[in-house]
Chain A
Amino acid sequence: MVADIFRSLLRRPAGLISAALLGLLYGMALFAPFLSPTTPSAQNLDRTYHPPTALVWQDGHLRVQLYQLVDPSTAAYQPLPDRSVPLRWFSEGPSYKLFGLIPANRHLFTVPDSHPIYLLGSDATGRDVFTRLLYGAGISLSIGLIGVFLTSLLGLTIGGLAGYLGGWPDSLAMRLTEFLMAVPGLYLLLALRAALSSRFPSDATFLLIVIILSALGWAGTARVVRGLVLSLRERPFILAANIIGQRPWTILFRHLLPNTFSYLIVAATLSVPGYILGEAALSFLGLGIQEPASSWGLMLGQAQDIKIFMLNFWWLLTPGAAIILTVIAFNLLGDALRDAVDPRFRLPGK
């Protein structure tokens, strides 16, 4: 069944494009240390707010243009005419651990003699925005996946149990979901963040945010799963399972919940953006991922400076473009999945 859905998904242009785009994004996040020329926390205080460096093609080599600082007060840089250095491919650079396991020090490209290369400019302390964007992608993108996995698990279990058992567990679960859906989400997010921060060391903030976002996010899934289970419960095949004397747990986990799977996979895909946006919002407010780690929301939060607005350091807003791209890709994929899973969901005329 999974293979069928997958094949049908890839036959749709929107599905193919979004799947390819997401594959590319996750690939870049996975290989971030290899793809980036430096490390995300390498500062260069002589090169703050450096504009994106131009690449020039000369003597059969891709070369990087060199710049000089002309006015430190407005961070104005000028390209040095005819001064450029060739890129080195697959060269050695700062060492890192690929996938957090394999020690390595090869980078896709570096520049000799520690000349700066800023493909997307540099930030207030001269760190490479491109590198931070790649490293930040790892955090921003994985929070979406892990969060959705936890939420689906929670929603499936609670919704399934509520729908199947009925009675007081059902009312309890439903009152709880109504409560969660009725409170302005960010207010609760702030309160949870404040309460739990002392229970986690600062490098476990990632885990903390995933837990908070999942704890608030399961309500919608649980409600729909409950509704599905309620209607499935009356179908003949469940009646048959009851009559041949299967245990309630077997019926729930073997017959009822697998039938909600196709809904769940669509809902999960469509709710990934919510987690990515949630993490970005928290980090943006300074309550999420902390320095020296990097995330897209954190980078945008640091771009809120009147100096940056006035002097037009547009490259500091590129994380926003990355967020939009990812969210659109997930929404496209979710819609295509919905069509692939169940053509009846489709709106007339579309």
Chain B
Amino acid sequence: MTAFILRRLAALLPMLLAVTLLVFALMSLAPGDFLTPVKAQRDINPALIAELQKSFGLDRPWYEQYALWLGNVLHLDFGYSWTYKVPVAQLIAQRAPATILLSLTSLLLAWTLAIPLAVLAAARPGGWIDRLTSAAAYFALAIPEFFLALLAVWMAARTGWFPIGGLTSLDHDFLSPSSKFFDIAYHLILPTLVLGLGGVAGTLRVLRANVLDVLQSEYVTAARAKGLSEKVVLFRHVLRNALNPLLSTIGYAFAGLLSGSLLVENVMNYPGLGRLVYEAFIREDQFVVLGSVVVGCSLLIVGNLLSDLALAWSDPRVRYGR
């Protein structure tokens, strides 16, 4: 198994190389650079600009810049944010946990809601639970995440039941550890609901189809013939097998969550990776963008790896082959 994990992690490298190269090339194709706004100011000495350009490496062709950056990354130096004047690694270390937290809570919400609903819906196809959940899922899948986020902020502003944005209250630093926990949980409720709703609907639809599929198999008939109660048949025998295909898609679900959180974080003022990367793109703060993309893709691959491991654990037919 260790060999399997190592092999998968090794596959990460060419992928990261390709992504960073692509992003680097694309960003250097974009007009202007981080210093463009500085250059536009009349009272700044051209010598200073030239010096800054040199220190940022902006006077060299982009492939040389890329090689330089890559060399630094090998020494675990992700560069320096030009906007925030702090090392990129530090910036990402501040922001990434918030995004990971939000993605995990959304995934948790999706699964805890979707699993029982999907099994109940598939147990009686065409019944009222089935029709209700299908209609709700249809609707939920059609709402753009950013619109839902907008509605959530609207609701929070109108009612005052929830904080309008952010991850912590102003007085967070002065709270006791348990109040800190509840403060963050309180701030997480709305973003989780917004980001998780699409996941609930998607998971529900896939799982319902899987359960219906598994219900056709002979061992289910055998289990029923043996006299097992319908609850045991559904939740112990059927669900276990219906979940397997879903486990292998967690990785892709994670990709969707990262994209979705970019929008949701921007609307809800949530201090995560998505907002960081968006603002860095706008300001052409190159190393922040690259660092965030590296972290985003790594998260994705680790997510895929975890979902493969979970699948191998849950389904004995799957081996750590190849």
Contact = CB atoms under 8 A, between A and B. Distances in A.
Contact of A331 (B23, B31, B141, B151): B141
A317 B212 contact: no
B5 interface: no
B281 A186 contact: no
A19 B42 CA distance: 59
Nearest to B141: A331
A346 to B, nearest CB: 11
A284 B277 CA distance: 16
Majority-rule SS of B interface residues: helix
A215 B284 CA distance: 23
B154 A327 contact: no
Interface stretch (B65-73, B221-229, B262-270, B311-319): B262-270
Contact of A349 (B125, B147, B262): B125
Given A182-B15, A187-B277, A347-B209, A194 B30 contact: yes
B217 interface: no
Contacts of B144: 277, 280-281, 320, 323-324, 327
Contacts of B258: 184, 186-187
B139 interface: yes
A45 interface: no
A250 interface: no
Majority-rule SS of A interface residues: helix
A184 B141 CA distance: 19
Interface in A295-346: 300, 303-304, 306, 309-310, 312, 317, 320, 323-324, 327-328, 331-332
A286 B50 CA distance: 31
B210 to A, nearest CB: 10
In the complex, which of the residues B27, B31, B146 has the most CB atoms of chain A within 10 Å of its own CB atom?
B146
B143 interface: yes
Contacts of B26: 191-192, 194-195
A348 B212 contact: yes
Nearest to B30: A194
Contact of B150 (A194, A198, A317): A317
Given A183-B255, A285-B278, 13 more contacts: A182-B15, A182-B297, A187-B23, A190-B277, A194-B26, A194-B30, A198-B31, A277-B144, A281-B146, A303-B150, A320-B143, A323-B144, A327-B144
6 shortest interchain CB distances as A-B pairs: A349-B125, A195-B26, A309-B157, A327-B142, A198-B31, A195-B29
Interface of B: 15, 18-19, 22-23, 25-27, 29-31, 125-126, 138-139, 141-144, 146-147, 150-151, 153-154, 157-158, 164, 209, 212, 216, 252, 255, 258-259, 262-263, 266-267, 277-278, 281, 284, 289, 292-293, 296-297, 300-301, 304
